[in-house]
A and B are shown apart, each in its own frame.
Chain A
Amino acid sequence: MSQLPLRAQLASALGRTAATLSRATGRGDGSVIGGRVGLMLEPDLLRKLAADRTLVLVSATNGKTTTTRLIASALQELGGVATNAFGANMPAGHVSALSSAKDAPFGVLEVDEKYLPEVLDTTNAGLVCLMNLSRDQMDRAAEIWLLAQKWRRALDGKPAHVIANCDDPLVTWGASTAARVTWVAAGQRWREDSWCCPECGGPLDRAGSASLGQGTGAPPSADSSWACRECTFHRPEPNWVLDGEDVIDPRGTRWRLDLQLPGQANRANAAMAMATAEAIGVEPGRSLSRLRTVTSVAGRYTTVERDGRSLRLLLSKNPAGWLEAFDVADPTLPIILSVNAQGPDGRDTSWLWDVDYRILRGRPVYVTGERRLDLALRLAVADVPFQLCESFDHAVTALPPGRIDVIANYTAFQQIRAEFNRAV
């Protein structure tokens, strides 16, 4: 890294200056503009910055930012880690992350699902961690079957070692052209996108599964095997298994997770992180002690205080994410739901109809956000009583002091975070 060619050194330095300026002028956290400036001066900068490091790419529909954080934490056992901790997950963000820690021997990069092929080609990363694929922001995102197809093509013929969740049939299919795969049975709650075989289109038979439709999700079950009824495609034998609160490593040793991050989805993220860390030489005992120190990730799961109310912030961007958030939310507490439909959220709110809100019956439910009427109708049709609130602040003051859960989608979440000085 210290051997960067002069032009790349200059591009990297100017990019960091742009990032500093962006932060100083309050325009943003600088990770995108800095990377853009660097790439403008040296289009090959990402490849050059990636060379000579042990690099992990992390991609999925949900859990990218958290899993990136967990893997980066684990690798700190071995040395310095460059990482895009705040979710700037396209090449400009990658350049910025690697530039800002030029001498770190390790890099852990969250990668947008669509960009994975390009970033893999450019960086020639040695490790790729793939967790899940489900419907997400269809007005601007790629169709997921197509996305998995692109992953297959990108991994084919590359030396990368892939760590993949074999409980997700589409991820399994996307990963299975890789030269080497470590399979992790990390579970799959949202199954509405994997009733058909990605290989042949035939029906997938799934163990321990709720029936199709309604989006209620599968209970976390030890047996999550699946197989196509018409071709030979089936779940590979896992090397690692997430079993309730425990991770079982390839030697059969059981590790109680005891994370501070809540919920089944984070236990799955931790299992993926432990398997990835071991592939780089961090044994489970050491990685786990690092994972347990993570309490919140870019504001997710953090608790903020206002006027005697303790608000726990949960981010959910798509139907699978809402299922995970419901798993974390406390059924005895009131809940505020906030939904927007700005560009980063997807301008289409249809996905609200894929979420099963009936689980909220019996809780005080407060609805806000720019698209609160879409959510209001959705809840009315589901027979979930709710209060409509003009703003987040109105919702908070309408509730008595005490603990409150908050679930918001992307820009709604960022708006709330901004009210609390960008809580992390």
Chain B
Amino acid sequence: MQSELAIVWIYPDLLSTYGDQGNALVLEQRARARGIATRTVHVRSSDPVPRDGHVYLIGGGEDRPQILGAERLRKDGGLHQAIDRGAALLAVCAGYQIMGSVFGGEEGQPVPGIELLDISSGRGERRSVGELAAEVDPALGLPMLTGFENHMGVTRLGPGVRPLSRTLVGTGNGDGTEGCYAGRVIGTYLHGPALARNPALADLLLSWVVGPLPQIDDSWYQRLRDERLAAVLPR
């Protein structure tokens, strides 16, 4: 890695519906707390996606911006090159669906994705809105996943990915799992600042590109997690 950690936020002009900026802010803060300098790049959808970033983020959005975002990412090709070079990616909600082979458009019509993850998505019967809690794949060694979902998507996972977690509360992919991962790419329906509620996930993304990280003071993160999980998990 060079001297600065480059965080690349893809298309905030299209895909930043609600608090997606939080993921970038949490990564910056957690890198900074370890003495790692960061540089965050906001890539407008009219501009090329840089190939040399370290952690990439893409957020949620409405149907039409999602379709536009997918078209532009496909034409651009930069994200694929960055991932091939070893960058990490967190793709959220609409951004998660874009990473697959196909997703549902405004009228449920199939729209091609960019095929970075072996998943395919469509529109479900009803909107899933609310708190989500899920047990993360033990192979990743992370604590419980907590967050908020707001989507109508149903996502089928192919053999090329592993489920990120098994849901205890909430809908996620729609089959009892939530999100998925493959290599250094993580997708999730947890919209907005998923990393604020899951700092260990933020550290996982960081450690993939900078190596092992020392512990930092997590007390505010932990208090919020405890409160949210206590509010939704059956006692």
Contacts and interface: CB of A to CB of B under 8 A. Distances in A.
Contact of A145 (B26, B62, B220): B62
A373 B224 contact: yes
Nearest to B16: A192
Interface string A339-355: 00000000111111110
Contacts of A348: 18, 129, 148, 150, 192
Contacts of A305: none
A351 B17 CA distance: 9
A347 B148 CA distance: 9
A196 B25 contact: no
A376 interface: yes
A241 to B, nearest CB: 27
Interface string B29-66: 10000000000001011100000000000000011110
Contacts of A378: 22, 196
A326 interface: no
Interface in B1-24: 9, 12-14, 16-22
Interface string B211-235: 0000000001101100100000000
Contacts of A143: 17, 62-63
B108 interface: no
A309 interface: no
B25 A382 contact: yes
A211 B191 CA distance: 24
Contacts of B62: 143-146
Contact of B45 (A140, A144, A196, A214): A196
A146 B227 CA distance: 34
A286 B12 CA distance: 44
Contacts of B129: 139-140, 347-348
A196 B14 contact: yes
A135 B223 CA distance: 28
Nearest to A383: B29
B193 interface: yes
Given A353-B25, A353-B196, A373-B224, A203 B19 contact: no
A145 B64 contact: yes
A354 B65 contact: no
B182 interface: no
B13 A350 contact: no
Interface in A308-364: 347-354
Contacts of A201: 14, 64-65, 68
Contacts of A352: 19, 22
B65 A196 contact: yes
A350 B149 CA distance: 10
B160 interface: no
Given A348-B192, A350-B191, A139 B150 contact: yes
Given A195-B44, A211-B42, A212-B13, A377 B19 contact: no
A405 to B, nearest CB: 23
A229 interface: yes
A157 to B, nearest CB: 23
A202 B13 CA distance: 10
B221 A377 contact: yes
Interface in A204-233: 211-215, 229
Most buried by B among A212, A215, A377: A377
Interface range on chain B (Cβ under 8 Å from partner) = 35 or more
B124 interface: no
A213 B9 contact: yes
B77 interface: no
B143 interface: no
Given A145-B64, A145-B65, A353 B17 contact: no
A378 B29 CA distance: 11
Given A135-B17, A138-B17, A145-B64, A350 B45 contact: no
B193 A196 contact: no
A351 B19 contact: yes
Interface string A361-383: 00000000000011011101110
Given A146-B62, A350-B193, A353-B22, A203 B227 contact: no
B227 A195 contact: no
B29 A381 contact: yes
Contact of A377 (B14, B20, B192, B220): B220
B19 A381 contact: no
A154 to B, nearest CB: 19
Interface string B173-192: 00000000000000000011
Contacts of A196: 13-14, 45, 65, 68
B130 A215 contact: no
Given A145-B64, A377-B224, A381-B26, A213 B42 contact: yes
Contact of A203 (B17, B21, B44, B223): B44
Interface centre among A196, A202, A374, A381, by most chain B C-beta atoms within 10 angstroms, is A381
A353 B127 CA distance: 23
Contacts of B17: 135, 138, 143
Given A347-B130, A350-B191, A381-B22, 10 more contacts: A135-B17, A196-B13, A212-B13, A212-B42, A350-B18, A351-B18, A351-B192, A354-B18, A373-B220, A376-B223
30 contacts: A135-B17, A139-B148, A192-B16, A201-B14, A201-B64, A203-B13, A203-B45, A212-B12, A212-B44, A213-B9, A347-B129, A347-B148, A348-B18, A348-B129, A348-B150, A349-B148, A350-B192, A350-B193, A351-B192, A353-B20, A353-B21, A353-B25, A354-B18, A354-B19, A354-B21, A373-B224, A373-B227, A376-B223, A377-B196, A378-B22
Interface of A: 135, 138-140, 143-146, 192, 195-196, 201-203, 211-215, 229, 347-354, 373-374, 376-378, 380-382
Nearest 9 A-B pairs (CB), nearest first? A350-B192, A353-B22, A350-B19, A195-B13, A353-B19, A203-B46, A143-B62, A213-B42, A377-B220
